[in-house]
């Protein structure tokens, strides 16, 4: 996530995207990160249950 955020900031600073485009892209990045983290949590729970059996 930090690299993707840095790329967005760089594009904004270089005026390769508007503030509105940056905001939309940042929101999408956060949503993707949140989804990825929740999937990881589910995998950890499943793995713990499997080990206990």
Per residue in 24-41, pLDDT (tens digit) is 999 999 999 998 888 766
Q: Can you give the residue ranges of every domain in the chain? A: 2-52
Spatial neighbors of 4 by CB under 8 A, at least 6 apart, are: 29
Q: What pLDDT was estimated at residue 50?
A: 62
* Measured distance CA(16)–CA(39) in Å, rounded: 33
Q: What pLDDT was estimated at residue 38?
A: 81
Average pLDDT, the chain: 86
Q: What is the pTM of this model?
A: 0.69
Q: What pLDDT was estimated at residue 48?
A: 63
Q: Which two tokens stand for residue 22?
A: 């940056």
């Amino acid at each position: 996530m930090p690299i993707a955020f840095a790329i967005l900031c760089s594009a904004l600073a270089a005026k390769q995207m508007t503030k509105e485009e940056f905001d939309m892209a940042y929101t999408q990045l956060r949503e993707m990160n949140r989804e990825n983290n929740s999937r990881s949590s589910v995998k950890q729970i499943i793995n713990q249950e499997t080990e206990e059996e």
